[in-house]
Structure 1
Amino acid sequence: MIPNPLQTPHSGYHWDGSDQRFFEGWYYRVTLPQLGETIAFMYSIEDPQGGQPHSGGAAQILGPQDGYVWRSLPDVDLFWAECDRLALGHWRTPGLPRHELPPDQFHAHSTEGYQATAHLNQGYLCDPATGFYCRWDYAIAPLYGWGSPRFPQQSTAGWLSQFQIFEPGWQILMAHGLANGWIDWNGQMYFLHQAPAYSEKNWGRAFPREWFWLNCNSFDGEPDLALTAGGGRRQVLTWAESVAMVGIHYRGQFYEFVPWNSRVSWAIDPWGRWVMGAEHWRYRVELVGTTTHTGTLLRAPTLGGMQFCCRDTMRGDVTLRLFEKHWNGHESLLLTATSSTGGLEVGGKPWREVWRSRA
């Protein structure tokens, strides 16, 4: 086991063994800027106690050109995850141990499934109806968790997220890292050499009613820059609230804009355009994401099980502008950055008008 000094809170598995409705999901992504392509791996488990209508796991991949492959992994007894660190796996091969396999033995022993940690992502999926497959194996070197790398890492939703009062919980596991290895996308080989990598997770009893997301760590000419922004309407105990945040890691600094320290506003089209602004006493940020691609429908856990309820593209155009405020009321521009390999998403109950709000 490789230690991870950048391990974030909530990196471990959250299920407490109860029989209440529960899901947990993990998201891993690598980008190949020179090809303009991104490949994202999404793993999930629902009602792991078993014997429930939606008990089971799944793995889905958003591939090159917004391609898509999905497989259910129905046997909850073949899923495992560690409670004290980021480590999980699910396979279709009965008899395999419910813990991490030695990386050099994974492909020899597992006929289908995956295993993932803070430093590794391996797997194989094959659609039996079409024969389309994906096989992957890459190592990850984390550069940023969530927060300044010089201090203990932070909960994305603040210290209250240690209590299960938000539905769902959300944690950025690694805002930026570098991946080395390979991905075989149905015979097309993609070799990763210091490829920008990212990971996050969510967990709880329900997804938010509506949500949006912008993410990029492959900006033009800025290899040490990572952006994650998003918002939604989430459940908080017995009421619902609209929240949003922006987090930027740049040259060793962490710029955080969250509801408890900033004003955050957004205007999100049903699809095609994402606009966010946030500011506090010291900094201000402007974000614009756009796409002309139709995107890909993805499955997400809902009260009714895994359903197509979000749309993603990994070929979004993203512009970021970061300003520093001064005592005399003036501002100076710290950073302007652009990318054509940004991740853009809308999800939940579709909205028909531009969603404008402020938190």
Structure 2
Amino acid sequence: MPPLQTPHSGYHWDGSDRRFFEGWYYRVTLPEARQTFAFMYSIEDPTGGQAHSGGAAQILGPNDEYLCRTFPDVQSFWAWRHALGLGHWRRLNATNESSKITESSPLVRRGSRAASPHLLPPAQFDHQIHEGYQATATWHQGILRDPGSGFTARWQYAIEPVYGWGDVNESQQSTAGWLSQWQIFEPGWQILMAHGLATGWIEWNHKRYEFVNAPAYGEKNWGGAFPQKWFWINCNCFANEPDLALTAGGGRRGVLWWMESVAMVGIHYKGKFYEFVPWNSQVTWEIQPWGDWRMRAQNSQYEVELTATTNLPGTPLRAPTQQGLVFCCRDTMRGQIHLQLRQRATSKLILTATSDLCGLETGGGPWDGVWKSE
């Protein structure tokens, strides 16, 4: 297991037929191209045979362009229980569905279905998988094909984790705190990698982007219930601050038999983790339905202020809901962000930073006005 592996990196499904989803998010930002690729994977009701059983892969690409493909067969999905690893494929390449497959092959067939899907060597995946993806803490690879438009996306890149969720030399933390080890919060949320470096390539409809040590990020969520309303701010590509990563967000979530509104801010900077969460800080927010995100937080030692804005319309994205995978949130990867971090006792400025490559999201509802809360 990687030394920066966080709690909740493994797959959470317990094998039951209760309503369940799990989702993963990988992102690479390309500073020179001024573009970002965000990959979103999900699986719902993995037992199969239910109304919403199946998986999906979504990509938010250059200029907030969007590609989505569904993977209805839950039997072709795999995920590791105790570490970050998952994959899903639609079918094998036609040349591999007969003579190329032998009884000793890891893709030996049962009828028309591949048996025991699992992580493949990159060259084998590239040769045999017609459409699908595979991802771990250190590797990410896939291909999606839209048969209607002929649009194709392909990617292969290695990941070097820099920050998990916590101080580098300490045990990594649960984003929702130690209580999240039990089924108390619905849904669960975990930042898997607050900051990393990605090296490889992405092809977006035949335009190839190659990169070395590009800022990378990863998170996940899971559960048997779904958030009612939420917001999200994320950036690890700041001007003149290569060793800075920010993730902030909030939402209305289920806690046992009641609902609560919570929010947090997490900052990794020069090897140190600054955490502002409900159990150690006061966190306030003022979020417009779209276009403007403002947060303040303070704990016993530090205080932070965030202002994020966008003039872009954003792109509607699908997310798992009680009614299945539906459009219920809006994102841009080209938001403006201004961050200030200070020592609380002296007001000494620790950090001020800006970026125009910030990820911003609002989701759920109702959004009938400004969401302002403490």
Q: In the alignment, what sits opposite 1:203?
A: 222
**Cα offset for 1:98?**
1.4
CA RMSD of aligned residues (A): 0.8
SS at match of 1:112: strand
CA offsets 1:148-194 (integer angstroms, 9 cap, x no match): 01101000000000011111000000000000000000011111211
Q: In the alignment, what sits opposite 2:58?
A: 60
Checking the alignment, whether the CA contact within 8 Å between 1:270 and 1:350 is kept in structure 2 is: no
**Cα offset for 1:33?**
1.1
Q: In the alignment, what sits opposite 1:166?
A: 185
SS at match of 2:155: strand
| Amino acid in structure 2 at the alignment position of 1:68 | Y
Matches within 5 A, 1:160-239: 160-239=179-258
Checking the alignment, whether the CA contact within 8 Å between 1:167 and 1:234 is kept in structure 2 is: yes
**Cα offset for 1:350?**
3.7
Work out the CA distance in 2 between the residues paired with 1:112 and 1:192.
23
Matches within 5 A, 1:110-129: 110-129=129-148
**Cα offset for 1:97?**
3.9
Q: In the alignment, what sits opposite 1:88?
A: 86
Work out the CA distance in 2 between the residues paired with 1:104 and 1:126.
19
| Amino acid in structure 1 at the alignment position of 2:66 | Y
Matched, 1:338 2:354: yes
**Cα offset for 1:69?**
0.3
Work out the CA distance in 1 between the residues paired with 2:115 and 2:4.
30
CA offsets 1:107-154 (integer angstroms, 9 cap, x no match): 101110000000011000011111111001000000000000110100
| Amino acid in structure 1 at the alignment position of 2:371 | W
Specify which of 266, 277, 291 is matched with residue 310 of structure 2.
291
| Amino acid in structure 1 at the alignment position of 2:218 | S
Q: In the alignment, what sits opposite 1:47?
A: 45
Specify which of 272, 279, 296 is matched with residue 260 of structure 1.
279
Aligned-pair identity (%): 66
| Amino acid in structure 1 at the alignment position of 2:58 | Q
Q: In the alignment, what sits opposite 2:106?
A: none
Work out the CA distance in 2 between the residues paired with 1:206 and 1:48.
15
Work out the CA distance in 2 between the residues paired with 1:256 and 1:140.
24
Specify which of 172, 176, 179 is matched with residue 157 of structure 1.
176
**Cα offset for 1:352?**
2.1
Work out the CA distance in 1 between the residues paired with 2:285 and 2:371.
7
| Amino acid in structure 2 at the alignment position of 1:344 | L
Checking the alignment, whether the CA contact within 8 Å between 1:176 and 1:226 is kept in structure 2 is: yes
Q: In the alignment, what sits opposite 2:322?
A: 303
CA offsets 1:248-289 (integer angstroms, 9 cap, x no match): 000000000000000000000000000000001100000011
Work out the CA distance in 2 between the residues paired with 1:34 and 1:251.
23
Q: In the alignment, what sits opposite 1:5?
A: 3
**Cα offset for 1:76?**
0.3
Counting matched residue pairs gives 353
**Cα offset for 1:104?**
2.3
Specify which of 142, 146, 152 is matched with residue 161 of structure 2.
142
**Cα offset for 1:207?**
2.3
Q: In the alignment, what sits opposite 2:109?
A: none
TM-score by length of 2: 0.93
Work out the CA distance in 2 between the residues paired with 1:156 and 1:45.
21
227-236 vs 199-208, which deviates more?
Answer: 199-208
Checking the alignment, whether the CA contact within 8 Å between 1:206 and 1:301 is kept in structure 2 is: no
Checking the alignment, whether the CA contact within 8 Å between 1:213 and 1:231 is kept in structure 2 is: yes
SS at match of 1:229: strand
Work out the CA distance in 1 between the residues paired with 2:211 and 2:227.
34
**Cα offset for 1:79?**
0.2
SS at match of 2:70: strand
5+ unaligned residues in a row in structure 1: which ranges? none
Matched, 1:357 2:373: yes
Q: In the alignment, what sits opposite 2:100?
A: none
Checking the alignment, whether the CA contact within 8 Å between 1:27 and 1:201 is kept in structure 2 is: yes
Work out the CA distance in 1 between the residues paired with 2:84 and 2:44.
18
Work out the CA distance in 2 between the residues paired with 1:6 and 1:280.
25
| Amino acid in structure 1 at the alignment position of 2:63 | Q
SS at match of 1:111: strand
5+ unaligned residues in a row in structure 2: which ranges? 92-112
Following TM superposition, the consecutive aligned residue runs of length 4 or more in structure 1 with deviations greater than 6 angstroms are: none
Work out the CA distance in 1 between the residues paired with 2:366 and 2:287.
11
**Cα offset for 1:195?**
0.3
SS at match of 1:331: coil
TM-score by length of 1: 0.97
